[in-house]
Chains A and B, each alone.
Chain A
Amino acid sequence: MGYSPHTEAQREEMLRAIGVDSIAELFADVPSAYRFPTLNLPHPVSEAEILRELQEIASWNAHVGEYTCLLGAGAYHHYIPSVVPAIVGRSEFYTAYTPYQPEISQGTLQAMFEYQTMICALTGMEVANASHYDGGTAVAEALIMAYNVLKGKRRKVLLSPTLHPEYREVSRTYLRGTGIELTGDEDLQADLDTLQAKIDPETVCVVVQTPTFLGEVLDPRRLRRLAEAAHAAGALLVVAVDPISLGLFVPPGEVGADIVVGEGQPLGNPLNFGGPYLGFFACRKAEVRRMAGRLVGQTVDAEGRRGFVLTLSTREQHIRREKATSNICSNEALNALAAAVYLACLGRRGLRQVAEVCYHRAHYAASGIAKVPGFELLSSWPFFKEFVVRCPISVEELNDRLLEHGFIGGFDLSRTHPHLGQAMLLCVTEMVPVPEIDRLVRVLREVTR
């Protein structure tokens, strides 16, 4: 089966028009020894068969439709209003390419302009781009941007140990070969004071995350002091942030952050086993020319009507080639569209409501679990929707038991933060009903008795 509309008679007719006798002749430039290899692939199947097969494969998975999900750690199960898939599923959006022809791409372009504006509104920043691949690559690109803002004259990046472990890994992969040193996260127990003390004249930027990987919300006043210390040394402050938390907490733009990035998946995008996700990226207008990624700008058409185009393209690889701000070419336009529709649906009050429900239920769950014998709450107040508990048995074993009771358990910190012991990072969003929290507390008591 295929999607070619040609009949054999038409193929013959087209070959005659080209002036060749066979299709094979069209491939004369391909070295004959390598031409037309055998592809050892499974036999093709029909549409009905493939769907049956995939339903079977998918049924081997445990998923959030059947289990109560307590996993977060950078990917979050939030409610997605029905409007979001209805809009994102419109093929005028999803079967379009990059809006290089603005006259027939105003849908994508205006939606991206609205998305950029919403990210500015959330983060408190002046400009946002039309997105990166995900939170991790957005962090890595932020480091490169900071390096370029300082004209490549400094070579040390300070990473907070409470930045997501994978963001730190991705950053290291990205910066290999550039001679930039990434440091600050060697001791996972080091606090913000320790990090701040390491700022020196070689420092490009300091990168922190709030809420931290372990769920703790950083005090905006403390962040402001960090920003001031960085700026005093001529360095920048990069803040990675959970966008849902911005429904409630002071945005990084108000405490002096120079670049704000994060994982935008929680904004209307499903878990999808880790991708595709959405890296959001915002900065100050003065530095916009050092920012990577697509940007949509407002302009007018020949009749003076408002319209939107891709702009500042001279930063990008298709024009500036090896001197571009980044090699990035695509963005996550469809995920950004989902985020825009999500934020439009929720609006000013809705996002705050979601953030508050997460906050209250997470604290309720934490205090309930803390009372279960053998469990200890390690997170200090205030946290947002995630918190750390030390468990009486290994997290792996506990998660096996939780699964039997219908829960996808929390993130096993013994892999990434061994100093915490048998510790689990639990996430409670608005998708965990209150009776399920109560049941979780009962089950924990039961399975560890």
Chain B
Amino acid sequence: MSEPLIFERSVPGRCGCSLPDAGVPPAPFPEGFLREDLPLPEVSEVDVVRHYVRLSQKNYGVDIGFYPLGSCTMKYNPKVNEVAASLPGFVGTHPYQPAYTVQGNLRLMWELQEFLKEIGGFAAVSLQPAAGAHGEFTGIQMIRAYHEDRGDRGRNVILIPDSAHGTNPASSAMSGYRVVEVRSDARGNVDLEDLRSRCGPDVAALMLTNPNTLGLFDEHLLEIVDLVHGCGALLYGDGANMNALLGIAKPGHLGFDVFHYNLHKTFSTPHGGGGPGSGPVGCAERLARYLPGPIVTREYSDECPGEGHRHTEECFLYDWMMPERSIGRVKTFYGQFAVLVRAYTYIRLLGAKGLRQAAEDAVLNANYLQRKVKQIFRLSHDRRCMHEFVAVGRVEGSDVRALDISKRLIDYGFHPPTNYFPLIVPEALMIEPTETESKETLDAFADALARIAEEARTEPDLLRRAPHCAPVRRLDEVKAARDLVLCWEGLGR
């Protein structure tokens, strides 16, 4: 059933909140400053609650079912993370409080910096970036600063494999670089010959996602590292797929110079319907002084705990520091603090063993599901995968498309895989099961795909008109783009 907009429930005179009076003699208002109209809805508290609860029921989340959205690492979000992030001592701290009044926050951030350094094999970490793409932008700016500081000003190109996320070229272009694409080879690796021909004195960096968006660990990674470093360029690591590498390999040791983590993917913080994310950046020693700040430092203190919150029991003092040649601030304040609390909690719960187990099970699940899906659809690359794989959403003897298969999956109670990405695989179905799904779930998903493939042959219209069991039928995206309505029409804009 269709839910009206909250504006359409408005009745003049209603208010959904009780508020205090000023309780002081009113100050005069300046003439000509006040607005005449404020066209917000007027609804009761009950109206608000029912409206948004009903809307929530039209959403599909990880808490409802399997969400194998490739490249997005939709793993279960532990509830304890939410409890941790809602502790009043965290929630109620203001970013401009003096450092000595927020030693708890700073300690948590310092520890998380240390954890991420250790997990990624990097010399330094900044928690500032607000999302993965923001981390990319940060890393590219650091790369620029590094080359410029060395007087190496001719490097205006960033190399990016054709399988990369769109954020990679966008982050590079936004930083003023020219983007040159590098081909993938038949096995889904970076085409070494193509890379070799493009490496030169004009290249600032290669941005590499490894495992890549096909779910494949590049079989020539060390040669790639040598080629890139050999021409004086740096290697940027897109950590979107770090879930496959926890305790398996450290990107910093493999040769990546700068790298972003997606806390909302790898470290189980919820995606929130599109955000907030969090994209801390780690780097090698030679780039540490360019990190965005401030970052948290720790020093031993002679004066041990005074009163209450003012000092830590360990006689450490935590403080802010701006790296020596920092690229500056990339966002207001210090990063997505409440997301950091969740990631910290997750790492403390799992420890080294649990993190490696997570990566192993993520890769186990992907390979298991890959074997099952291979019986139904062609694989884009039939080789051992890491945490995800790509199938081709075509059915012999039917003209249904990947999109139809995806929409039909909704009727079976599953969230569809990523469609039409990576761009180098036509009709891609990119499937990432994650480690938190059981064998039973994977089996049920594969069974559903098999049934859908059969339907594609016998009853293709069932797919083309899917979904049949969702709150709405297929939506007209062409109309949305042609007849733009971006704001409730009753507002009269």
Contact = CB atoms under 8 A, between A and B. Distances in A.
B295 interface: no
B338 A276 contact: yes
B59 A96 contact: yes
A83 B475 contact: no
Contact of A116 (B55, B364, B486): B486
Given A322-B179, A349-B42, A176 B327 contact: yes
B352 A347 contact: no
B43 A322 contact: no
A327 interface: yes
A361 B24 contact: yes
Interface in A247-299: 247-251, 254, 263, 270-277, 285, 288, 294-299
Contact of A97 (B69, B169, B219, B438): B69
A15 interface: yes
A395 to B, nearest CB: 10
Interface residues of B, number: 206
22 contacts: A2-B357, A20-B367, A39-B247, A75-B94, A94-B61, A95-B64, A96-B59, A110-B55, A120-B493, A121-B38, A137-B130, A172-B328, A297-B485, A321-B166, A334-B272, A345-B45, A348-B38, A348-B41, A349-B42, A350-B19, A354-B19, A363-B27
A408 interface: yes
Interface in B338-393: 338-339, 341, 345, 347-358, 360-361, 363-365, 367-368, 371-372, 384, 386
A345 to B, nearest CB: 4
Nearest to A85: B86
Contacts of B327: 173, 176
B248 A136 contact: no
A271 B92 contact: yes
A312 to B, nearest CB: 6
A420 interface: no
B331 A137 contact: yes
B166 A344 contact: no
Helix, strand, loop or mixed for chain B's interface?
loop
Among A6, A53, A77, find the residue whose CB has the most chain B CB atoms closer than 10 A.
Answer: A6
A50 B349 contact: yes
A92 B59 contact: yes
Interface string B107-132: 11000000100110100000000111
B92 A99 contact: no
A285 B484 contact: yes
A299 B88 CA distance: 41
B166 to A, nearest CB: 4
B186 interface: no
Given A59-B89, A99-B274, A270-B91, 6 more contacts: A75-B95, A83-B45, A101-B60, A176-B327, A219-B32, A317-B166
B477 interface: yes
A241 to B, nearest CB: 12
Interface stretch (A30-38, A187-195, A228-236, A441-449): A30-38
Which 7 pairs between the two chains have the least Cβ-Cβ distance? A274-B333, A58-B89, A44-B351, A177-B176, A274-B95, A334-B272, A276-B276
